[in-house]
Amino acid sequence: MFDKLQNRFSKIFTDIRGHGKISEKNISKAIREIRIALLESDVNFKVVSKFINRVKEKALGEKVFDSVTPGQQFIKIVQDELVLFLSSDNMDININKSGMTIIVMAGLQGSGKTSASAKIASFLKREYSKNPLLVGADLQRLAARDQLKILGEKNDIDVYTNYEKDIEPIKVVTNSLSYAYKNKNDIIIIDTAGRLHIDNFLMEELSMIIEKVDPHEILYVVDGMTGQDAVSSSELFAEKFDLTGVVITKMDGDSGGGATLSIREVTNCPIKFMTSGENINNIEIFVPNRIAKRILGLTDIIGLVEKAQKSFDEKSAKELEQKIINNQFDFDDFSKQIKQFNKLGSISEISKFIPGIKDANKFNLDEKQFKWIEAIISSMTKEERKKPLIINGSRRLRIAKGAGRSVNEVNRLIKQFNQIKIFMKKTKGMKLGKLPLKFN
């Protein structure tokens, strides 16, 4: 996510920090590099010109040169202007205080509407304690309804659709509202049909659905990998419908991320969500300040903390705390902690919040080690996991063979487990997710 921009901005900022005094010459050079970086990341050229002019106007002001750290001041100007570019009014998801909230998902075929619909439903269920209903109104793509049903069943989300022959999408939507009322669903997310290109039939069908349900949100779903095509289609949809927000999908792809900057500026429509990957939890609210930091290669520690909070189970944390107090922490508990940590995702996923750790080798982190540790613990008997003190030399040899690892690795794990146990006994009040996991 934003890798190209992160790399370019990191080099630009490193160079500007190296100057003891900022002059018009090196400011102009930095601005020229920023222009190239944005264009190469597929940001719309009109958007680039507007952004560059605003940065240049502020950066060449006298206040910048009076700063104690002019290089940092320039970076702050770029960040502030980027935040302004990404910000909009009404960025929050519109949820009706009482009764149903209706959300219509629109977009071209292949943009990821169906997956995004399920991710938003799961997000609202998890974060707002809502009871969502996914409505399969895409009757054009053969697999759309089946995909929605599978996603709903897998994630315990209600789904309504209809497989009757020749049934119209508007009828499916109308019936879904009655179903939702009886089923006490308070969020209705309607997955509409897409096309390979914008056509009159698509627009008319969507207009009928919007007119019928009068939605609280009309979210345009756009594939973040399609670059300028995404900007063009977004602009056309924004002209036709009163879009309330944009959802940018597939942000884990190889694109430069330029569509994010362009769509917001061209459509004047707030970006409300970004999604990446296949996991149902790979969705986040679009927060301009934090996204700007990521684009510029600066740390988004708040985003990482929020991801951790979603991954760690509060109930398990309390149970763990009680075990620590009673000195009952065992290898089963240790294994649970490893699994909780893995919920955060891979090192590469975590690195999007902290660009500096993109090079995992720099930190000597090997994701395979987590699997090896679980294999070693799984090779222990139930009694050995509960009473680690009984694991003598012969048992360690058997465990190593069962896990397909060396005896030395088993010894290191047991040693580390004992160190962690001592550490936890000293702290006792420690929260879940704070284990000093370090694998040598």
β-bridge pairing 283-285 and 271-275: antiparallel
Between the ranges 52-61, 129-138, 227-236, 371-380, where is the mean pLDDT highest?
129-138
pLDDT of 255 above 70: no
Look at residue 168 in the predicted model and tell me its pLDDT.
92
Look at residue 149 in the predicted model and tell me its pLDDT.
94
pLDDT tens digits for 409-438? 999 889 888 877 776 666 554 443 433 333
Average pLDDT over residues 111-119: 93
Q: Provide the 8-state DSSP code for 67.
A: S
Answer for the pair 136, 152: CB distance below 8 angstroms, yes or no: no
- Residue ranges of domains in the chain: 3-86, 101-287, 313-427
d(CA 56, CA 27): 8
Average pLDDT over residues 177-192: 95
Return the minimum-mean-pLDDT range out of 142-156, 257-271, 296-310, 377-391.
296-310
Tokens representing 317?
């944390």
Tokens representing 195?
């096309």
List the CATH code of the domain at 101-287.
3.40.50.300
Average pLDDT over residues 130-137: 96
Comparing CA positions, the residue from 291, 303, 294, 308 lying closest to residue 355 is: 294
Name the region of 345 (left: φ>0; alpha: ψ -120 to 50; beta: rest).
left
Tokens 């048992």 sit at which residue? 395
Average pLDDT over residues 189-205: 82
Alpha carbon 239 to its chain's center: 28
Comparing CA positions, the residue from 31, 85, 75, 76 lying closest to residue 258 is: 85
β-bridge pairing 187-191 and 132-136: parallel
Confidence of residue 264 (pLDDT cuts 50, 70, 90): confident
Angle of CA points 191, 159, 107, to nearest 5°? 10
pLDDT tens digits for 18-34? 766 667 777 888 888 98
d(CA 263, CA 381): 56
Helix boundaries (H) for 162-312:
169-183, 200-213, 228-240, 258-267, 288-295, 301-311
CATH top-level class of 313-427: mainly alpha
Between the ranges 34-38, 225-229, 316-320, 322-326, where is the mean pLDDT highest?
34-38
Average pLDDT over residues 6-20: 77
Evaluate whether the domain defined by 3-86 bears CATH number 3.90.79.10: no
Look at residue 434 in the predicted model and tell me its pLDDT.
39
Question: Regarding predicted confidence, which is higher, 297 or 439?
Answer: 297
Look at residue 41 in the predicted model and tell me its pLDDT.
82
Q: Reduce the secondary structure of 90-114 to three states and give it as a string.
A: CCCCCCCCCCCEEEEEEECCCCCHH
Angle of CA points 106, 112, 113, to nearest 5°? 30
Confidence of residue 116 (pLDDT cuts 50, 70, 90): very high
